[in-house]
Amino acid sequence: PNRLTHEVALERFMCLTDGIDTVNEEKKVDDDSSGLRGKVEEVMSFLLKAQETVKDGETVKAYVCGKTRIYFLAGALEYLESERLLALGDRSVIIQRFVRGFVARSKFLTLKDAAINSQAFVRYAIARKAFVRLRAASLILACWTRCNMAKAELLRRQKNKACTQIQLKWRRARDMAMLKSCVSSAIIVQKILRGSIQRPIYRAMLAQAAEDAKIENQLKILQRKLAEAEARRKEEEKRRIDAEKKIAAGAGGGTIPQAAIISDGEEKKMDGPTAEQQEALIHESGEMLEYMRKEIFNLRSKNYLLRTDLNQLKSDHKTLSETHQSTVSNFEALNIHAHQVAHENLLLATKVADLKKEMKVIKNELNVSRLLQKAEKKQFKEEQQKLRDDHREEIERQKAEMERHTRSQAVLSRYRQSYQQPTTKGRVASPVPQGRQRWYNDDDSTERSVERRSEKKKSLQALRMGSGSNHSSRQLPRVSSKLKIQSSADVPEGAWDRKGFEELSKETPTNNRRRSRRGSQSNRSSKSNTPRGSRPGTPNSLSSSASSPAASSLAAASSLKRASTKKNTR
């Protein structure tokens, strides 16, 4: 067909668009719901650029893009298919090149490893021979070298001791001279420092003294002016009094010239307000002097207080700066400590996670060992009970046999003593009656009884000496066959998980109730018949001998389980 859907066209011919960026979300057409039309047009315009024709001044494309399909002119689709086949051929050649290169590289690396191994072995042999030869020579050289080194070390230590004494004396003299120069320099520095500290204080005091002297000078000038004004006032007052006296004398003796009277009146008019002003000025000046003295005293006290406050503030500022520095250093140290604590917390968290995993594995191992122990304990109790029963029956049978044998022996000895007559010279013992011959002439019965007695003794010795090993050899196959203990390599997958535990617990019967410590009636009877202790052949000795294979089988099972879990975790 000469038409394809947008998805099929993109899927088939996307491999030819290596030179353009086909994923451009901004060129989507609004009426295209799938958003593929713009991509298809971009791809086809790039691929079918050579198939475009010009007809009547217009460019005719080799395709038409619809909403869901794209339609091709005759030959356009064949052109695209041929280009696609060529592109796929080129890519298949690249893939084949990589595969062949991988195969050839693998073969080359294999041959290279073999050559390296052979070369390494040959070089190893050559190097070992050279090493053995050099080691034999190096031992002699090492001995000679150590001797020379020891001699050189001795000389060096002697020289070092002499040099140390010389350096000690020289450093002592140098340090003494340096101490003297440092003391003199410290005195000069202290003098300069104290001068620099006292000089501003002296300048301030000098300025204060100059200001006080200036104020005193002003006061003295003002006092001098007041004294001059007071002297003028007194002189004017004296002149006024003299003038009044003259006027009074003139009134009594004659007439005074009118001009003199007028001049005296004018002087009075001129001098009267001046005296009042001078008195007021003197009074005001005195008040002003008192006020100035008080102000000077207040200012001096305030200045002293301000200097005290300034010194206190300087000391506080110094203390605060030192505190700030220490606080900053403490804060940095706390930050470092906080980072360290956070790092330690992370490490502890990882350790806790690892410990939890190990605890989980240990719990699984404990569950397995608990189940194995229960099964082993049950099997061991059954074996012990069976051994006790067999032992008790054997003891009873042996006792009955011994009693019967002792009775027969006593009867036989009694009859032999009664019917045996001592022989004398020339006389023959009387024959034994026919009815009594079976008690002492039955050789077959006596031999059989002796054989049975010897067999019983052997069986008792076997029970006393080797019963533990025999029972243990009988126990191991039964325990292993019932519990199905296997090695870690032969254990099927999933045998050690929770499901395996449940199956093993189901296979283990639960009707095995724990017996009391006193035991059953048969155990009590057997204990009353046999003495307590670790005497060979007793139930205690048998239990101790039978418990060792059970413990060994349990330890083997737990070790196999632990090895398998470690391998799985690794």
Tens of pLDDT along the chain (570 residues) come to 588 888 888 888 888 877 555 444 444 444 444 568 888 888 888 888 777 777 777 777 877 788 888 888 788 888 888 888 898 899 899 999 999 999 999 999 999 999 999 999 999 999 999 999 999 999 999 999 999 999 999 999 999 999 999 999 999 999 999 999 999 999 999 999 999 999 998 998 898 888 888 888 887 887 888 788 788 888 888 888 888 888 888 765 544 444 444 444 444 444 444 567 667 777 777 777 777 778 888 888 888 888 888 888 888 888 888 888 888 888 988 989 898 899 899 899 999 999 999 999 999 888 988 888 888 888 888 988 988 898 888 898 888 888 888 888 888 777 777 755 444 444 444 444 444 444 444 445 555 666 666 776 666 666 555 444 444 434 333 433 333 434 444 444 444 444 554 554 554 444 444 444 444 444 444 444 444 444 444 444 434 444 444 445 455 555 555 655 555 554
Domain segments of the chain as ranges: 257-415+443-511+534-570
Q: Please report the pLDDT score of residue 405 as a whole number.
A: 85
Question: Longest C-alpha distance within the chain, in Å?
Answer: 238
pTM for the predicted model, two decimal places:
0.23
Using CB atoms within 10 A of its CB, is residue 395 exposed (0-12), middle (13-18) or buried (19+)? middle
- Paired residues of 161 in beta bridges: none
Q: Please report the pLDDT score of residue 401 as a whole number.
A: 86
Q: Backbone phi, then psi, for 212, in 5-degree steps?
A: -65, -40
186, HSE (Cβ side, Cα atoms, 13 Å): 6
Which two structure tokens, joined as six digits, stand for 378?
């049950």
Q: Please report the pLDDT score of residue 292 as a whole number.
A: 77
Which two structure tokens, joined as six digits, stand for 92?
């298949």
Q: Backbone phi, then psi, for 71, in 5-degree steps?
A: -110, 135
pLDDT digit string (tens) for 379-398? 888 988 988 898 888 898 88
Report the distance separating Cα 158 and Cα 135, nearest Å.
34
Report the distance separating Cα 535 and Cα 542, nearest Å.
10
Q: Please report the pLDDT score of residue 529 as a whole number.
A: 43
